[in-house]
């Protein structure tokens, strides 16, 4: 009962948007495809549904879906802009898929009521789509996509247009809903927070291919390349030089000489600092200039200048003020080095994780 | 089995093969070409190429001819005065109805649109009932004067200004006016320098349309002008049917076509210039508040407008049932006229039904072709918009001189419904096309993903959404056909007139009984139109409920 995509290629004329994509989704698993805007994410979704010409194999439980027309594939899709039918009310939208599956009017009514209750919209049956708020429309779209009980549910940037508070609430609710119902799901997004919150595994897209597919934890700890780091929102890469020292290894960067866990030999590298690299530490070897302080989540975060490198972020005590200087230390495992001109992984090994591909 | 599969490109999104699309477009284009472009060319040929070679001197003859010169002057004069007055009355009304939107505005807006649904001859009959013979306004001696023609035109066309200018006014950003006031402009200057430029394209457009409607007005002139007032349209009719001078009639029509085309071009040019300087709206103004006095003035204005709009209907019904309903009795009597006026009801219904069928069939295919950009759709779009700029009289006249080849259709019953369909076609397109355009392609994808087969997608999305627009278009086409007078007057057979023709004939008879019969027949028409409007409302409401 796995959803298997192999060799999927999408091209517009001569331009190849998606190149020989392979991935497998286990039953009940939630997989996120994470990619920048214009990376062809929506093309994948449309190709999987049969709305976009493509080559390759798409199979559910070993049965080839690629040969089937869209309406026989059993794949549900929640559209990026929801695409709710303006000429139908809420019940009409949710019941649409049920009606296509020749369900009687009475059963339809019961199921619509149940689905609306599931997404927290009890009694919304007769409401016109135009009268709904953004969040309500999102929920109706989800209920509509879930109604025909698809084998696989695709969510295309499901929370893109929502404000932050609503988005965070819906992320939790939708995640719970999908897991409770064991829905095999592929979610496509540009937002790593969204991918990490919802997915069991995340595939990072780069240049029309999967650059890395792993659990959120592994992806965070061991991003395979600079491109993956960029996609995860890490600070920009700088040039550096690895030096072996008697105690291990360090890397010379515009930020200064940073400790580094690696078996790399001496030579030039690209260096990325993970957001958790810096920590305020009175015994620390480095000194940062505080430029700006703001409350962030449950801590205070400062924009700091370290050496001559790009500005960094770090958690600071609440008493910190702009203009202060602060001593800090660097986590060696958060200093990520990549060989120049390749996407070779950092040469240190973090604790092994499961489900990695 | 090879797992690499080339997904079927044709299956994705394309529901009709290009060949079928091209054939459908070709059929519509040929029909429009034969029933519209060909008669139009025949008219121009008759006017400019009378003996097989181009003879522009005919146009000079028209200008030199005293009577025709007078006709052209009067046509232009009455149309210009009417358009100006419509603007003077319509602008404040548009402001109150669309900008201030006080209580009751929706009702008055509906009432303002009543004349649009009424056939010209019914309105003509109403004004005749009011101001002619022993009507309440007879002492004003307005019958057969330019004044009554202008008043009728204002009554008819006020909706054009309210609709076109009002809808733009509603969208003009109120902050632009406020900004002008804050910068030191008084109310008038703020209006002139901020609001007016934004409204200019709408004002120009509305004025051009009203002017064209008044130039090509036929029913009103026939019923209220009493033969002494001749416009281009009535003169063409007289030359064709009474003097059988097709050459001069053709030349006059060419003059009219040139005037219509010039107006449209000039209006489009001015609109384009002003569109650049206009302000594009971001928000609607809040409904008006204001002092008690202002509210009272607004209420009185709206009440007056509402009553005035209803007066013609009221007088027609009153005159029909006065005298113990003698008018209705007369409808069943064939001893005076040789035919029973009541039979015109069946003739009209039958003709309008056929016409609606034709207009809908061609209109819907043309609309789909235009929206889906089928091959050749641009030509169809252009051809079907043409009737808007050309009068119904030209269509009737064109049919009469052109449709004898390859088969002589001029004696066929089908001619009248086709002529009426030609008049109704642009309205069908203008009703259906925007609705088809509102269908988002993503909805079709969503339906397919939810399990709808390609035919089911068309049924549950395209047809479901378009059906209410098609119902509205059908109602429009039916009402237009029912009241169509200009083209039909050329083509209807003497023994089986349609209702508008019968009304005009009855109004022209001596004695009170035929005139009361005309009012009775007009009452029947008003009843039919009200019934169609009600049915349309019901159909629209039912389709909106959709799949529930």
Regarding predicted confidence, which is higher, B56 or A183?
A183
CB-closest option in A49, A55, A101 to B6: A55
What's the pLDDT at A355? 45
Chain B nearest CA to A166, separation (Å): 24
Chain A CB contacts of B446 under 8 Å are: 77, 79, 83-85, 144
Residues B12, A75: C-beta atoms closer than 8 Å: no
Q: Which residue of A has its CA nearest to B541?
A: A87
Q: Tell whether the model's pLDDT for residue A90 goes beyond 90.
A: yes
Residues A53, B6: C-beta atoms closer than 8 Å: yes
Q: Which residue has the tokens 């592994």?
A: A218
The per-residue pLDDT for range A189-223, each reduced to its tens digit, is 999 989 998 999 999 999 889 999 999 999 999 99
A54 in contact with B at a CB cutoff of 8 Å? yes
CB-closest option in B456, B465, B548 to A89: B548
Q: Which helix (H) or strand (E) holds A34?
A: strand A30-34
User: In terms of DSSP H, where are the helices of A181-215?
Assistant: 192-198
What's the pLDDT at B387? 64
Distances in Å between the alpha carbon of B516 and those of B101, B131, B275, B519, B527?
40, 15, 50, 5, 16
Residues A87, B448: C-beta atoms closer than 8 Å: no
The per-residue pLDDT for range A296-317, each reduced to its tens digit, is 878 899 999 988 889 999 999 8
Residues B465, A95: C-beta atoms closer than 8 Å: no
Q: Give the CA-trace dihedral at B362, B367, B369, B372, to 10 degrees.
A: -160
CB-closest option in B9, B450, B548 to A53: B9
Under an 8 Å CB criterion, which residues of B touch A? 1, 3-9, 11-13, 438, 440, 442-443, 445-454, 456, 460-461, 464-465, 543-548
Task: Please provide the average confidence, as pLDDT, over all residues in chain A.
Answer: 87
**CB-side exposure of A97: number of CA atoms within 13 Å?**
32
Confidence band, pLDDT 50/70/90 cuts, at residue B119? confident
Q: Tell whether the model's pLDDT for residue B220 goes beyond 80.
A: yes
Kindly tell me the sign of the dihedral angle through the C-alpha atoms of B257, B263, B266, B272: negative
Confidence band, pLDDT 50/70/90 cuts, at residue B287? low
A131 in contact with B at a CB cutoff of 8 Å? no
A12 in contact with B at a CB cutoff of 8 Å? no
Q: Return d(Cα A15, Cα A6) in angstroms, integer.
A: 20
Residues A71, B465: C-beta atoms closer than 8 Å: no
Q: Return d(Cα B43, Cα B236) in angstroms, integer.
A: 11
Q: Tell whether the model's pLDDT for residue A356 goes beyond 50.
A: no
Q: Tell whether the model's pLDDT for residue B74 goes beyond 60.
A: yes
Residues A64, B461: C-beta atoms closer than 8 Å: no
Confidence band, pLDDT 50/70/90 cuts, at residue B386? low
The per-residue pLDDT for range B75-88, each reduced to its tens digit, is 999 999 999 999 99
The per-residue pLDDT for range B314-331, each reduced to its tens digit, is 888 888 888 777 778 888
Q: Tell whether the model's pLDDT for residue B4 goes beyond 50.
A: no
Residues B546, A49: C-beta atoms closer than 8 Å: no
Q: What angle do CA B174, B179, B182 make, to 5 degrees?
A: 130
What's the pLDDT at B370? 85
The per-residue pLDDT for range B462-511, each reduced to its tens digit, is 888 888 888 888 988 898 899 888 888 888 777 788 999 988 888 888 87
pLDDT (mean) for A243-261 = 86
- Ranked by mean pLDDT, which of A6-10, A262-266, B422-426 comes out on top? A6-10
CB A170 within 8 A of CB A159: yes
Does residue B425 sit in helix, strand or coil? helix
Chain B nearest CA to A247, separation (Å): 53
CB-closest option in B5, B442, B548 to A92: B548
Chain B CB contacts of A76 under 8 Å are: 449-450
Chain B CB contacts of A77 under 8 Å are: 445-446, 449
What's the pLDDT at B360? 93
Q: Which residues contact B344 (CB under 8 A, 6 or more apart)?
A: B496, B497, B498, B499, B501, B502, B521
Chain A nearest CA to B476, separation (Å): 22
Lowest-confidence region among A30-39, A159-168, B427-436: A159-168
Lowest-confidence region among B201-215, B488-502, B527-541: B527-541
What's the pLDDT at B389? 63
What's the pLDDT at B377? 78
CB B166 within 8 A of CB B275: no
Chain B nearest CA to A87, separation (Å): 6
What's the pLDDT at B84? 95
Q: Tell whether the model's pLDDT for residue A349 goes beyond 90.
A: no
Q: Which residue of A has its CA nearest to B463?
A: A87
Q: Which residue has the tokens 């550096």?
A: A240
CB A254 within 8 A of CB A307: yes
Residues B445, A66: C-beta atoms closer than 8 Å: no
Chain B CB contacts of A6 under 8 Å are: 3
CB B389 within 8 A of CB B260: yes
A158 in contact with B at a CB cutoff of 8 Å? no
Does residue A61 sit in helix, strand or coil? coil
What's the pLDDT at B6? 41
CB-closest option in A51, A147, A148 to B12: A51
CB-closest option in A46, A57, A81 to B5: A57
What's the pLDDT at B283? 44
CA B217 remoteness from chain centre: 11
Task: Please provide the average confidence, as pLDDT, over all residues in chain B.
Answer: 81
A298: exposed, middle or buried (Cβ count in 10 Å: 0-12, 13-18, 19+): exposed
Lowest-confidence region among A269-278, B68-77, B147-156, B224-233: B224-233
Chain B CB contacts of A87 under 8 Å are: 464-465, 543-544, 546
Confidence band, pLDDT 50/70/90 cuts, at residue A272? very high
Q: Which residue of B has its CA nearest to A90?
A: B548
A10 in contact with B at a CB cutoff of 8 Å? no
Regarding predicted confidence, which is higher, A1 or A54?
A54
Q: Return d(Cα B19, Cα B5) in angstroms, integer.
A: 26
Chain B nearest CA to A49, separation (Å): 7
Q: Return d(Cα A78, Cα A139) in angstroms, integer.
A: 10
Residues A87, B546: C-beta atoms closer than 8 Å: yes
């Amino acid at each position: 009962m796995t959803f298997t995509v192999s060799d999927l290629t999408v091209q517009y004329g001569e331009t190849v948007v998606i190149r020989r994509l392979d991935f497998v989704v286990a039953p009940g698993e939630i997989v996120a495809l994470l990619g920048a805007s214009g990376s062809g994410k929506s093309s994948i979704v449309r190709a999987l549904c049969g709305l976009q010409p493509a080559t390759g194999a798409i199979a559910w439980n070993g049965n080839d879906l690629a040969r089937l027309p869209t309406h026989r594939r059993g794949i549900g899709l929640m559209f990026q802009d929801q695409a709710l039918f303006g000429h139908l009310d809420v019940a009409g939208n949710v019941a649409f898929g049920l009606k296509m599956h020749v369900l009687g009017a009475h059963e339809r009514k019961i199921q619509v009521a149940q689905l609306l209750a599931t997404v927290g919209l009890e009694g919304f049956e007769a409401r016109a789509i135009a009268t709904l708020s953004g969040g309500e429309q999102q929920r109706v779209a989800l209920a509509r996509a879930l109604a025909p009980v698809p084998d696989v549910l695709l969510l295309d940037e499901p929370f893109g247009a929502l404000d932050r508070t609503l988005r965070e609430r819906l992320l939790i609710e939708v995640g719970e809903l999908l897991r409770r119902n064991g829905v095999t799901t592929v979610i496509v997004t540009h937002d790593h927070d969204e991918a990490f919150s919802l997915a069991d595994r995340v595939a990072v897209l780069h240049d029309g291919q999967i650059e890395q597919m792993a659990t959120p934890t592994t992806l965070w700890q061991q991003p395979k390349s600079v491109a993956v780091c960029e996609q995860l929102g890490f600070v920009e890469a700088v040039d550096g030089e690895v030096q072996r020292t008697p105690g291990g290894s360090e890397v010379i960067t515009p930020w200064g000489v940073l400790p580094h866990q690696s078996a790399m030999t001496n030579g030039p590298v690209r260096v990325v600092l993970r957001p958790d690299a810096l920590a305020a530490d009175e015994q620390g070897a480095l000194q940062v200039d505080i430029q700006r302080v703001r409350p962030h989540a449950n801590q205070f975060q400062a924009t700091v200048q370290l050496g001559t490198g790009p500005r960094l972020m770090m958690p600071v005590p609440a008493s910190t003020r702009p203009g202060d200087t602060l001593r800090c230390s660097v986590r060696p495992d958060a200093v990520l080095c990549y060989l120049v001109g390749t996407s070779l992984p950092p040469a240190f090994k973090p604790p092994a994780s499961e489900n990695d591909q | 089995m090879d797992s690499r599969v080339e997904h079927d490109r044709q299956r994705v999104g394309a529901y009709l093969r290009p060949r079928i699309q091209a054939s459908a477009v070709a059929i519509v284009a040929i029909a429009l070409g034969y029933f519209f472009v060909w008669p139009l060319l025949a008219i121009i040929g008759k006017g400019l190429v009378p003996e097989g070679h181009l003879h522009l001197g005919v146009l000079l003859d028209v200008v030199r001819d005293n009577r025709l010169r007078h006709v052209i002057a009067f046509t232009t004069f009455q149309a210009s005065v009417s358009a100006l007055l419509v603007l003077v009355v319509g602008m404040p009304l548009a402001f109150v109805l669309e900008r201030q939107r006080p209580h009751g505005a929706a009702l008055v807006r509906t009432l303002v649109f009543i004349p649009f649904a009424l056939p010209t001859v019914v309105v003509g009959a109403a004004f005749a009932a009011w101001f002619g013979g022993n009507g309440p306004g007879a002492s004003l001696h307005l019958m057969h004067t330019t004044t009554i023609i202008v008043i009728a035109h204002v009554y008819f066309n006020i909706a054009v200004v309210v609709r076109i200018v009002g809808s733009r006014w509603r969208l003009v950003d109120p902050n632009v006016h406020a900004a002008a006031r804050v910068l030191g402009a008084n109310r008038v200057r703020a209006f002139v320098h901020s609001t007016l430029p934004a409204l200019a394209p709408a004002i120009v457009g509305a004025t051009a349309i009203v002017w064209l409607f008044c130039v090509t007005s036929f029913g009103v002139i026939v019923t209220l002008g009493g033969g002494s007032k001749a416009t281009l349209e009535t003169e063409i009719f007289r030359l064709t049917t009474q003097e059988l001078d097709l050459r001069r009639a053709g030349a006059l029509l060419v003059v009219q076509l040139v005037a219509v085309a010039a107006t449209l071009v000039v209006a489009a040019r001015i609109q384009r210039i002003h569109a650049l300087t206009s302000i594009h709206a971001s928000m609607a103004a809040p409904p008006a508040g204001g002092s008690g006095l202002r509210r009272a003035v607004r209420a009185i204005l709206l009440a007056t407008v509402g009553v005035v709009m209803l007066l013609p209907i009221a007088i027609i019904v009153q005159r029909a049932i006065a005298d113990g309903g003698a008018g209705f009795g007369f409808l069943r009597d064939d001893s005076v006229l040789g035919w029973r006026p009541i039979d015109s009801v069946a003739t009209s219904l039958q003709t309008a039904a056929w016409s609606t069928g034709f207009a809908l069939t061609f209109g819907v295919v043309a609309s789909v072709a235009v929206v889906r950009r089928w091959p050749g759709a641009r030509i169809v779009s252009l051809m079907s918009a043409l009737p808007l700029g050309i009068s119904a009289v030209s269509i009737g006249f064109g049919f009469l001189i052109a449709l004898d080849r390859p088969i002589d259709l001029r004696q066929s019953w089908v001619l009248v419904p086709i002529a009426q369909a030609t008049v109704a076609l642009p309205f069908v397109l203008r009703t259906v096309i925007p609705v088809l355009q509102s269908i988002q392609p993503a909805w079709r994808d969503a339906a397919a993903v939810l399990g709808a087969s390609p035919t089911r997608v068309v049924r549950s999305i395209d047809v479901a959404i378009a059906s209410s627009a098609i119902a509205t278009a059908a109602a429009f086409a039916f009402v237009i056909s029912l009241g169509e007078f200009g083209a039909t007057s050329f083509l209807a057979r003497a023994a089986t007139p349609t209702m508008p023709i019968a009304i005009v004939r009855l109004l022209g008879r001596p004695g009170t009984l035929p005139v009361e019969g005309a009012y009775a027949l007009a009452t029947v028409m008003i009843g039919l139109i009200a019934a169609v409007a009600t049915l349309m409302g019901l159909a629209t409401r039912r389709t909106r409920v959709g799949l529930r």
